Amino acid sequence: MNQLWGSMDQYHQIAWHWEIAVYLFLAGLSAGAAISAVVVKKISHHSESNGLVKAGAVIAPIAIAAGLLLLIFDLTRPLNFWRLLVHYNFTSVMSVGVLALFIYFPLTLLLFAATFHEKFSSGMFACFKPIAGLAKSLGKVIDALVLLFGVIIGAYTGFLLSAMNSHSLLNTPVLPILFLASGLSSGICANIIVGMVWFHQDLNINEVASLDHTDKIIIYIELLLLFALFVGMFYQGQEAAATAAQALTHSAWAGVFWIGAVGVGLLLPLVLNFAFSSSFKSSPSKFIMFNATLVILGVLSLRFYILYAGQMFS
Amino acid sequence: MAKKYAMIHDNNLCIGCQACSIACRAENKIPNEVYRIQVWIQGPNQHADGSLNYDFHRQSCVHCENPPCVKVCPTKASYINQDGIVLIDKKKCVGCLYCVEACPYKARYVDPVTQAPDKCTFCYESRLSRGEQPACVTVCPTDALIFGDLNNPSDKISQVISRKITYQQKEHLGTRPKMFIVPNTQGGKIR
Ligand code: SF4
Ligand code: SF4
């Protein structure tokens, strides 16, 4: 339409696109993989030679590094990106997040070095041997810090969005917890998949099954959180209630939510688990891997949905 | 003493002519496809007695006293100056567009030339620094816009605000806009 007052395009544009959705996904996945690796290390017998721990130690740094690259290239002035490291604003979740990432990223590298310290004893990467040795000897401290900063990173991706009172789908205290929970879930599943593909000789299938079981519990929690999010909006007054109704029914994003995030990511894994639990024993690893893939796709859909629907409907 | 610049948009005087929007474009050399201000003509609304009228919404930065855009900016590129005007220091801006999304008034656009966000500045860098009123205020044919310093009791804006009933958009968000609206009773009709 051509109004008397001119083009309204700028009022319908959204600022954050797929790069940010993927970043939010990768940051959550990295944090979830790191957290679950450290937890498995604490409770399993073989500690760091455990395939699940190795998987987490590989995934955590790679996922966060890939996410950060996307983040930088999505800036409209990427050459200015270094200013994020020099100027800080403590009321900005983004700025606090940069600080947290400053600590978290090296921590994941140390986790990697500690887990694979033998690989650094000779050969091409022998120059990292002292660092790997140090990381190994500080193992306990590093684990504790990874746990702490994993939770911080997982939740911060939610606070980043919930800090904006311009959008009622985003401006809710449920979001950081939802993102932490779903990030943890995707991290667990990534650890299971990578563990089974690359480190299967170091895997104990019972441990995989119990991690998979933990993931199912997190899925129930996510369903509850999503329910709380929308019911909460319904009672937050007319504006938020209308946004909730729109976000659940309008545009392709409602489809991404119902089919992708809820259907494929949450309900299907639960239903499959329930329906096939008897045949599960015959080829457990394929079944668990398939389920884990569904969960990861669901978490990715959830990030896309929240980011896009959140910005579109105010 | 620091100033507290503010503006009144009187919906009873506004006729939606867009003179303000055009003057802003000329004064601030706004690229073609984007706008610092528009006046949206909404309606006609029907009153209980059957008569009709239009509403006029000035779509622009409302210069919040508690601006969300400044709170979220990671580099403090978005800031509020000593005179209460919210500005963008483009040198510091990384283009994360957090401010664009966080503004509840959709006041910010990405400048196609600098790729940094931009918005109404009350003509701070140009006309105001020369002691002139913002471009939109000077050209308004019905004097629907009043601009001035709320810290100065003898300024016209302080007097009008004390006399007329005004409201601010989305007050419930706690942003405390310094754009005051005189609500419409008969907008569009010259009396
Ligand atoms: S209207 Fe938007 S851009 Fe202007 S000060 Fe308020 S939050 Fe910032
Ligand atoms: S786009 Fe620029 S001004 Fe806006 S929040 Fe990011 S750094 Fe600050």
Predicted confidence (pLDDT) per residue in A275-285, tens digit: 876 555 556 77
Determine the average pLDDT of the residues in B33-53: 90
More confident residue, A305 or A125: A305
| The two three-digit tokens of residue B57, written as one number | 């919404």
The secondary structure of A149-174 as a DSSP string is HHHHHHHHHHHHHHT-TT-TTTS-TH
Give me the residue from B21, B71, B109 closest to A92, CB to CB. Answer: B71
Determine the average pLDDT of the residues in A123-146: 87
Residue B96 lies in a domain: no
Mean pLDDT across chain A:
92
Closest by CA to B52, choosing from B39, B42, B43, B60, is B43
Give the separation between CA B168 and CA B8, rounded to whole angstroms: 10
Q: What is the CATH number of domain A15-312?
A: 1.20.1630.10
Q: Identify any residues that bridge with B9 across adjacent strands, giving them in sequence order.
A: B145, B181
The secondary structure of A244-266 as a DSSP string is HHHHHHSHHHHHIIIIIIIIIII
Ligand 2: centre distance to CA B79 (Å): 10
Residues of A in contact with B171 (CB under 8 A): none
Our count of domains for chain B comes to: 1
Degrees, nearest 5: CA angle A56-A62-A68: 130
Query: b vs e for B156-181, b when ≥16 Cβ sit within 10 Å of the residue's Cβ?
Result: ebbebbeeeebebbeeebebebbbbb
Chain B touched by A83 (CB under 8 Å): yes
DSSP state of B47: P
| Phi, psi torsion values for B12, nearest 5 degrees | -80, -25
Q: Identify any residues that bridge with B45 across adjacent strands, giving them in sequence order.
A: B53
For a ligand 1 pocket test, name from B5, B58, B61, B93 the mutation site with the most ligand atoms within 8 angstroms of its C-beta.
Answer: B61
| The two three-digit tokens of residue B131, written as one number | 């002691």
Q: Identify any residues that bridge with B57 across adjacent strands, giving them in sequence order.
A: B40
Which band of pLDDT confidence, cut at 50, 70 and 90, is reported for residue B190? Answer: low
CATH of the domain at B22: 3.30.70.20
Give the separation between CA B186 and CA B191, rounded to whole angstroms: 9
Give the DSSP H/E element, type plus range, for residue B56: strand B52-59
Number of residues that this document lists for chain B: 191
Residues of B in contact with A87 (CB under 8 A): 74-77, 92
Q: What is the pLDDT of residue B108?
A: 97
Q: Name the residue with tokens 């990292």.
A: A128
Residue B19 lies in a domain: yes
Task: Please write the tens of the pLDDT for every residue from A59-85.
Answer: 999 999 999 999 999 999 999 999 999
| The two three-digit tokens of residue A230, written as one number | 């929308």
pLDDT surpassing 80 at residue B187: no
The domain spans of chain A are 15-312
Q: What is the pLDDT of residue A121?
A: 79
Q: Is the CB of B37 under 6 A from ligand 1?
A: no
Q: What is the pLDDT of residue A283?
A: 67
* Cis amide prior to B141 (ω within 30 degrees): no
Q: Could you give the maximum distance between any two Cα atoms of chain A, in Å?
A: 73
Task: Please write the tens of the pLDDT for every residue from A242-252.
Answer: 999 999 999 89
Question: Do the beta carbons of residue A28 and residue A299 sit within 8 Å?
Answer: yes
Question: Do the beta carbons of residue B33 and residue B144 sit within 8 Å?
Answer: no
Residue B130 lies in a domain: yes
Q: Which pTM was predicted?
A: 0.94
Task: Please write the tens of the pLDDT for every residue from A186-221.
Answer: 999 999 999 999 998 888 888 888 899 999 999 999
| The two three-digit tokens of residue B135, written as one number | 């471009």
Question: Do the beta carbons of residue A308 and residue A11 sit within 8 Å?
Answer: no
Residue B190 lies in a domain: no
Residue B80 lies in a domain: no
Ligand 1: centre distance to CA A29 (Å): 34
Task: Report strand pairing: B5-10 vs B179-182.
Answer: parallel
Coil, helix or strand at residue B98: helix
| The two three-digit tokens of residue A117, written as one number | 């310290």
| Phi, psi torsion values for A116, nearest 5 degrees | -110, 30
Residue B82 lies in a domain: no
